Structure 1
Amino acid sequence: MSADVINKAFLATEEEFLSVVRKQWQIKPQLASVGSCCLTGIICSGVLYVANAGDSRAVLARTDEATKEIKAIQLSSEHNASFESVREELRSMHPDDPQIVVMKHQVWRVKGLIQISRSIGDAYLKKAEFNKPPLLPKFRLSEPFKKPILKAEPAVTVQKLEPGDQFLIFASDGLWEHMNNQEAVNIVQSCPRNGVARRLIKTALCEAAKKREMRYSDLQKIEKGVRRHFHDDITVIVLFLDSQLIARDTWSSPMVSVRGGGYSGSGLIGLGLVDG
């Protein structure tokens, strides 16, 4: 296991999806405008690898040795044009394009179309062959481009887990719009493990309802297609850590038990989150 292996896996996934877009181009051209953020975590022999392409986020809960309080540690950075560092990266990659990032409707967007700078898919901003008819005009750029505007390569962080590491939260940006890292960690710490991911989702939805001056029960009644105007889709994974298990080189028992919740033999644990 290595950062290079994970990077190759992301790129292989990207190529497979682009091949689907290419095969379906004439009958389903809108596949070229479909994309997803991708956040992946892998634990191998006590080492945690986090790979991110897009604006999902991974947070680690760690016990502070001095205060014994559980602190939130952000493990990934978002590839979103709202961050100055991302805009600077895009400008350095496209020095001859003054319109590589544009403020539109009070939001920074790549080419005025999309907020994220890395993703799986979004072929219309990676391959010029897909940025033309029969793709819908709203996705087509007026000027042709010679190199990909978006990237599929993830940013990978690697660190050894410590005995005080308690759990990991993997979540799409729909969660982080309504709570910060420490708030999410506090909720997980204070609630029973069973259903805690759903608790995070409900807390975020209650906050979304509050911002719109409505009740959570009223928000639930809104049709899914219309709900996107009130809040983004939310996906959450919480992984509790066992320091004795993750330090082993091999396991004979099942590696991980997963119970999913979303709105809308080698000593290795893997989990991933896509948000498209």
Structure 2
Amino acid sequence: MNILDDIYAKLMPSHGYRWKGRLGGVQDGRTNGLLWYKDLGCHVSGEFSMAVIQANNLLEDQSQVESGQLINGLYGTFVGVYDGHGGPEAAQFVNNNFFSNIKKFASQDGQMSADVIRKSFLKTEDEFISLVRDQWRTCPQLASVGTCCLVGVICNGLIYIANAGDSRVVLGREERGGRRISAIQLSEEHNVNRESIREELRFLHPEDPKIVVKKHNVWRVKGLIQVSRSIGDAYLKSPEFNKEPLLPKFRLAQPFSKQILSPRPSVSIHEINSQDKFLIFASDGLWDHLSNEEAVHIVHSHPRNVSLYIISVIICFILKKIRNPQTKGGKTDGLGNGSRQVIFSFGSIYV
């Protein structure tokens, strides 16, 4: 038995127990230490699997799956992956409020659209910033909490993808009569380690030569954060929070007058065709260890227990890098705050 098979066997309980809590729209799952996973569930367009591995004592991330009637006469599936940073509060807030906002705007417009999703991002952002403002005197550190936000809506034969941050969604598409599976990235990422994102920030802030700074070989916005878009992070959204009682490490020495980070998502729409077989929604904790092609190959090759198998692969990579820190591109800090992913299939190919 190789190391991957050994890890997978240890993670798969002989008779696991049902998780009694709630993860977004998912009411059940299995736990194994710091691992939570759901082998296979149903949504209106097919099936899904999901998992999260917690890499430290405080889980800052959230995710949810909601499936059914979105508005009168319109059925679909909503998925959200919220990769928190600085604390769990922003991700929890988005997990509790984003879906209700998207239903409200879709109901008002009588349809699902890219505009509905954009308005939901901005509304959720406004609500969280209002909470930060209300709690400023008693809990100023809430101003330094934020979350990346990746959402998808599957309905009417379309996939709407919206992203603010560096999570990612990848589509698996069959080619050559099913003999080959290809990976198609549907989301745009906003991490300043990408040159295009650094150039975007420099264009938006020509007056600030230090809008992006390289520290310890990693690019960061104002030397503080790697993503240029998020929900929360009020201390980089409004100058009213750039002062005491916020901790000095979050306060900028130079005052600013316009928003540094943006809550506005990149939105794309994809028309589903018969060759499209599954989607992988995941935070950067997965993509730090797997390429798009590797992830798609794993899902295609292991249609059952797929989320758990991917977690096994990631743990295997981490163990190898810890044993050999000189591995090219290796990280000895594993997954950072954690890794979570949701895998969707269309139709019943997982039956």
Q: TM-score, normalised by structure 2?
A: 0.64
Q: Choose the corresponding residue for 2:237, options 111, 115, 126.
A: 126
Q: Choose the corresponding residue for 2:343, options 214, 238, 249.
A: 238
Question: By how many angstroms is 1:44 displaced?
Answer: 1.7
Q: Matched residue of 2:160: which SS?
A: strand
Question: By how many angstroms is 1:243 displaced?
Answer: 8.7
Q: 2:181 maps to which residue?
A: 70
Question: By how many angstroms is 1:191 displaced?
Answer: 1.2
Q: 1:24 maps to which residue?
A: 135
If each structure's strand is expressed as a fraction of its own residues, which one has the higher value?
2
Q: Choose the corresponding residue for 2:224, options 113, 120, 124.
A: 113
Q: Is the 8 A contact 1:197 1:238 kept in 2?
A: yes
Q: State yes or no: 1:167 paired with 2:278.
A: yes
Q: 1:11 maps to which residue?
A: 122
Tell me, in whole angstroms, the C-alpha distance in 2 between the residues paired with 1:108 and 1:87. Answer: 9
Q: 1:260 maps to which residue?
A: none
Q: Matched residue of 2:323: which SS?
A: coil
Amino acid at match of 1:231: L
Amino acid at match of 2:321: K
Q: Matched residue of 1:234: which SS?
A: strand
Q: 1:266 maps to which residue?
A: none
Q: Matched residue of 1:9: which SS?
A: helix
Tell me, in whole angstroms, the C-alpha distance in 1 between the residues paired with 2:339 and 2:315. Answer: 9
Question: By how many angstroms is 1:190 displaced?
Answer: 1.3
Tell me, in whole angstroms, the C-alpha distance in 1 between the residues paired with 2:303 and 2:268. Answer: 29
Q: Is the 8 A contact 2:213 2:221 kept in 1?
A: yes
Q: Is the 8 A contact 1:55 1:172 kept in 2?
A: yes
Q: Choose the corresponding residue for 2:191, options 51, 59, 80.
A: 80
Q: 2:333 maps to which residue?
A: 229
Q: Is the 8 A contact 1:201 1:236 kept in 2?
A: no
Tell me, in whole angstroms, the C-alpha distance in 1 between the residues paired with 2:198 and 2:230. Answer: 16
Question: By how many angstroms is 1:230 displaced?
Answer: 3.1
Tell me, in whole angstroms, the C-alpha distance in 2 between the residues paired with 1:8 and 1:234. Answer: 27
Tell me, in whole angstroms, the C-alpha distance in 2 between the residues paired with 1:189 and 1:63. Answer: 9
Point out the more displaced range, 198-207 or 90-99.
198-207
Distance 1:140 1:157, change over 3 A: same
Question: Sequence identity of aligned pairs in percent?
Answer: 58
Tell me, in whole angstroms, the C-alpha distance in 2 between the residues paired with 1:205 and 1:129. Answer: 42
The list of structure 1 runs, each at least 4 consecutive aligned residues, that deviate by more than 4 angstroms after superposition, is: none
Q: 1:52 maps to which residue?
A: 163
Question: By how many angstroms is 1:231 displaced?
Answer: 2.4
Matches within 5 A, 1:251-262: none
Q: Matched residue of 1:212: which SS?
A: helix
Q: Is the 8 A contact 1:163 1:243 kept in 2?
A: no
> Structure 1 unaligned runs (5+)?
215-226, 245-276
Q: TM-score, normalised by structure 1?
A: 0.80
Amino acid at match of 1:236: Q
> Structure 2 unaligned runs (5+)?
1-111, 325-330
Question: By how many angstroms is 1:157 displaced?
Answer: 0.6
Amino acid at match of 2:314: A
Q: State yes or no: 1:101 paired with 2:235.
A: no
